[in-house]
Structure 1
Amino acid sequence: MDSTVSDAPQGNWVDRHAPAALRPYLRVARLDRPIGSWLLLLPCWWSTALAAMAAGQPWPDVRLLVLFAIGAVAMRGAGCTWNDILDRKIDRAVARTRNRPVASGALNVPMAFAFLALQCAIGLAVLLSLPRFAVVTGLASMGVVAIYPLMKRITSVPQLVLGIAFSWGALMGWASVFHTISDPALLLFAGSVAWVFAYDTIYAHQDKEDDAVVGVRSTALLFGRKTRLAVGLCYALVVVLFTLSILSVSPGLFALLGLAGFALHLLWQVRTLDIDDGDRCLALFRSNRDAGLILFAGLALDSLVPTLLHWLLP
């Protein structure tokens, strides 16, 4: 069995180029949809850049940025595989997810568990490459990651648990540089939780009809017609918390410009949100990669530009 997944970008590289035998594995890891890896990675990169600013480093630690990129792909894939194993019956009842590999039978449960173990091994290898304090910090997130797929069955705010899991990287960069967790990282983490909560609420509006039928809960169903207000308030909280985090490390112009660009992007999302248009919700959800990269560019340039100017104009 080899069928495309409906919420993957049309003409993605997996559908076009990957060998047929590998496609179910690549799809269950969402390698045909890299947006999730980006959204898991960005808090790691923000934290690394913020720590570089606080430590007076000439630029964010490139080794950490690369390790976090590898780890984000591996652990996002592992999380999705675990989610699909647990949700295989629910996925069969939802139009958007019924063709996922485990739900459709393209990948049986033992094969999915074996692939899960492989991805976790890669993630563990990355984690063990970090300082000891960061290793302990990373391991502390595993319980949240494990229980997230179950939350939609018991709470109307599963997006909050996802926010904690996806924002853990906001602690990891700082922990890797300073071997501790301080207020700037905690503020960044809290803001990231609110960011994930809001953008995943937008994402959840694609499935609200099916979710209501199968008994799955979400903030899309909880907020309903008040979603724009809820997302707007969450995004406002994000900007406040990120501002406090960045101001606490004495930022320069570029960090503030990156923060402003990020805030304007969130405002644009709220203004253009249409909860009755699934394609629009998906596009806005995906656009958070660009918002996050704007912020990261500002934080990274805040350290990098003065260093380059010092070299060029001694």
Structure 2
Amino acid sequence: MSSSRVALYLDLIRWNRPAGWLLLLWPTLSALWIACDGFPGWHLLTVFTLGTILMRSAGCCINDVADREFDKHVKRTAQRPVTSGALSVKAALTFGAVLALLAFGLVLTTNPPTILMSFAALAVTLAYPYAKRLVSMPQAVLGVAFSFGIPMAFAAATGGRDWSLAAIPAAVPALAWWLLVGNLFWVLAYDTEYAMVDRDDDLRIGIRTSAITLGRFDVAGVMAFYAVYLLSWLYLGLKLGLGPLYSVGIVVGALQAGWHFTLIWDRTRDGCFRAFRVNHWVGAAVFAGVVLSFVASGHALR
């Protein structure tokens, strides 16, 4: 394969823009640390880190194929490989399938509850690109997709060898689902910022987004989403007994959210896109708070 062809595939999966997979990685790793009461071990850390990168990349392939006709009319996306015709639909889907199979291979090294949940995660990933045609806030569907690593992390850490669906509730406590709900609001926050970049184009071509649905309350909505995310994770973390360093991580995340308010206030494309691109640092601050809390309590390694 020529270097130019390789470059097209790397562009397809946004390889030069790691912010996308970091947005998935930080909450997943936070959940993994919580589920394992500290360092999860190199096996699970590798599975969830590589799995996150692979599935996000596969999701990009699916999304670009599904949106190729819409993306032609959006300045920011018109030159994506599938949209521009540089890569065929078949090539993109084949590449996405290979990436998803590699991720599934990693999941197979865990346990039955995690493997079973991976099918639900794939279903949500496949559904998201089409949600914007059907629902007024498709970012909520993305929120489920981008948060599904949380219950899967708990399943991998605490699940047994039972292949029945009844084993999943035992492997995934209510805490995991509440963390997923809280994280969903973070996804709503940063993906609404992302949608604000393309609002004019989306209105013209008939795409539904949270930025359009919220209208003039878009900035207020983004800040409310941040507040729900950070306050819910603060409450859940304190309820678990995570220490002051965890609270510091939440505060650092909140300060970043405040900075984002200044970036999106005037709704410029550059400001909103910058807010989206640096959002992974909010998740990184929360993750750092989780890890440091376990380090301080003596549960850094098992």
Name the TM-score, length of structure 2 as normaliser. 0.90
Q: Secondary structure at the match of 2:136?
A: coil
Which stretch shifts more, 132-141 or 157-166? 132-141
Q: How many aligned residue pairs are there?
A: 289
| Aligned partner of 2:57 among 59, 77, 85 | 77
Equivalent residue, structure 1, for 2:168: none
Q: Which stretches in structure 1 are left out of the alignment for 5+ residues? A: 1-17
Equivalent residue, structure 2, for 1:213: 204
Equivalent residue, structure 2, for 1:300: 291
Equivalent residue, structure 2, for 1:48: 32
Instruction: Quote the Cα distance in structure 2 between the aligned partners of 1:20 and 1:232.
Output: 42
- Whether 1:136 aligns to 2:127 is no
Q: Secondary structure at the match of 2:298?
A: helix
In the TM superposition, residue 283 of structure 1 has moved relative to its aligned partner by 1.1
| Aligned partner of 1:187 among 178, 191, 196 | 178
Identical amino acids, percent of aligned pairs: 34
Which aligned segments of 4 or more residues in structure 1 are displaced greater than 4 angstroms? none
Equivalent residue, structure 2, for 1:123: 103
Which stretch shifts more, 100-109 or 23-32? 23-32
Instruction: Quote the Cα distance in structure 2 between the aligned partners of 1:70 and 1:221.
Output: 34
Equivalent residue, structure 2, for 1:171: 151
In the TM superposition, residue 215 of structure 1 has moved relative to its aligned partner by 0.8
Instruction: Quote the Cα distance in structure 2 between the aligned partners of 1:50 and 1:308.
Output: 11
C-alpha offsets along residues 89-136 of structure 1, whole Å, 9 cap, x if unaligned?
Answer: 111111111100001011011111211121111111111122221222
Q: Which amino acid aligns with 1:195?
A: W
C-alpha offsets along residues 16-65 of structure 1, whole Å, 9 cap, x if unaligned?
Answer: xx921211111111112111111111221110122233xxx4x3433322
Equivalent residue, structure 2, for 1:276: 267
Equivalent residue, structure 2, for 1:11: none
Equivalent residue, structure 1, for 2:67: 87
Q: 1:19 to 1:309 in 2, by over 3 A?
A: closer
Q: Which amino acid aligns with 1:77?
A: S
Q: Which amino acid aligns with 1:213?
A: R
Q: Which amino acid aligns with 1:136?
A: L
C-alpha offsets along residues 132-156 of structure 1, whole Å, 9 cap, x if unaligned?
Answer: 2122222222221111101111222
Contact 1:202 1:275 in 2 (8 A): no
Which stretch shifts more, 261-270 or 33-42? 261-270
Q: Which amino acid aligns with 1:168?
A: F
Contact 1:205 1:275 in 2 (8 A): no
Q: Which amino acid aligns with 1:260?
A: V
Contact 2:263 2:274 in 1 (8 A): no
- Whether 1:223 aligns to 2:214 is yes
Instruction: Quote the Cα distance in structure 1 between the aligned partners of 2:42 and 2:63.
Output: 31
Q: Secondary structure at the match of 2:5?
A: coil
Q: Which amino acid aligns with 2:260?
A: Q
In the TM superposition, residue 271 of structure 1 has moved relative to its aligned partner by 4.2
| Aligned partner of 1:287 among 252, 274, 278 | 278
| Aligned partner of 1:246 among 237, 240, 246 | 237
Contact 2:263 2:272 in 1 (8 A): no
Q: Which stretches in structure 2 are left out of the alignment for 5+ residues? A: 160-170
Q: Which amino acid aligns with 2:6?
A: L
Name the TM-score, length of structure 1 as normaliser. 0.87
